[in-house]
Amino acid sequence: MLERRRFIATAPWGLAWASGSAQAARPEAALRMPGPPFRVGEYPYFQGDLAALALQKVGITTPLEILSTQTWPRQVRELHDGHADLAPLPAVDPGLYAKFHVRRVDFPIRRGLLGVRQLVVRSDRVDEFARLPDLAALQRRYRLGYGTEWGDLPVMRQLGFRVATERTTALLYEGLRNGRIDFLSRGLNEAPSEVPRFTGPDQEFSLVPGVLLFYPLDDCYFVSHRRPELAARLLRGLRTALADGSYRQLFHQHFGESLAAVRDARVWRLDAYPRPPGLPLSDYDVLQRWMPRRAAAQLPQHA
């Protein structure tokens, strides 16, 4: 079962704590969605805010309950077992989800932002990485730290990265600290909060300035097989929000500052990174929408 910490989305763009016992905290009709293990209540959570916005766009006023859990494989099991109604999960090989009978909502939640990656290194190696000429040099010379359970681990190896794995984010930073790992590739939405959190008195970590990786990676909402009607309504709500500008406003509220800080960075693309069926490259348009000069210079024009 999911951990008992939780908060409720009481308005389309706001999250608030729920209190009391597990039964008292949740209205009987609340839609349940697994969330992160620690950013509960007092931190922004885009996936929860966006789900609430999309549901509101199609007239669903049921409260959205965000349940704290640990890993995305656990979230899939919670969907399958009926302990959750929807969940934001990596849009990777559909075969990974087949036995759980969950349904994907074909809309990358952050329009590919998860694939905009910053390099995290030990602070004493920043200049070394900033001087790298291209992606090939990065892959050839250095070991990438990656999660053991991350769904695209085999893909990163196939693309030519030398990969060292760990089970948790904390252990990845420990591997970076002790030299077993040379760099981490962290999402633009992850790195700014992680680096100060894992920096300690014995070792500082830094973002490599002026360099980004990009590949078509993001989460989609997945819906329990017990709530199949929810998938179509969520998709309609998401598309409405994208068309009427409310998606852009919410996205900018959460990520605008981070994107502005890397507006002039070099973008090293992983063009061979596979997209799951049903999600065209045009759906991963975060750079075109929020970094148009980078996109015009470096993104391919084919779908």
Given a contact cutoff of 8 angstroms between Cβ atoms, the answer to whether 23 and 29 are in contact is: no
Given a contact cutoff of 8 angstroms between Cβ atoms, the answer to whether 144 and 181 are in contact is: yes
* E strand or H helix that includes residue 53: helix 46-57
Distances (CA, A) of 226 to 17, 86, 100, 233: 27, 10, 11, 15
Backbone angles phi, psi at 225, to 5 degrees: -65, -15
Edge to edge, the sheet with strand 103-104 lists 86-90, 219-223, 103-104
Q: Which two tokens stand for residue 23?
A: 């039964």
Residue 118, number of CB atoms within 10 A of its CB: 26
The DSSP annotation for 94-160 comes to GGGTGGGT-EE-SS-TTTTGGGEEEEEEEGGGHHHHHT--SHHHHHHH-EEEEETT-TTHHHHHHTT
* E strand or H helix that includes residue 208: strand 205-214
Tens digit of each residue's pLDDT (9 = 90 or more) over 111-159? 999 999 999 999 999 999 999 999 999 999 999 999 998 878 999 999 9
Structure-token match 């981490």, residue found: 184
Rounded to an integer, what distance in angstroms lies between the CA atom of residue 185 and that of residue 159?
14
Given a contact cutoff of 8 angstroms between Cβ atoms, the answer to whether 116 and 289 are in contact is: no
Q: Residues 99-109, buried b or exposed e (16+ Cβ, 10 A)?
A: ebebbbbbbbb
Q: Which two tokens stand for residue 81?
A: 């077992």
Rounded to an integer, what distance in angstroms lies between the CA atom of residue 17 and that of residue 243?
31
At 1, which amino acid appears?
A: M
Q: Residues 247-260, buried b or exposed e (16+ Cβ, 10 A)?
A: beebbeebbeebbe
Tell me if the pTM is above 0.85: no
pLDDT of the chain, 303 residues: tens digit per residue = 444 444 444 444 444 434 333 334 444 578 999 887 655 455 678 999 999 999 999 999 889 998 887 677 888 888 988 899 999 998 877 777 888 999 999 999 999 999 999 999 999 999 999 999 999 999 999 999 999 988 789 999 999 999 999 999 999 999 999 999 999 999 987 888 889 999 988 789 999 999 999 999 999 999 999 998 999 999 999 999 999 999 999 999 999 988 888 988 999 999 899 988 889 999 999 988 887 555 444 544 333
Nearest alpha-carbon partner for 266 in 297, 244, 235, 290: 297
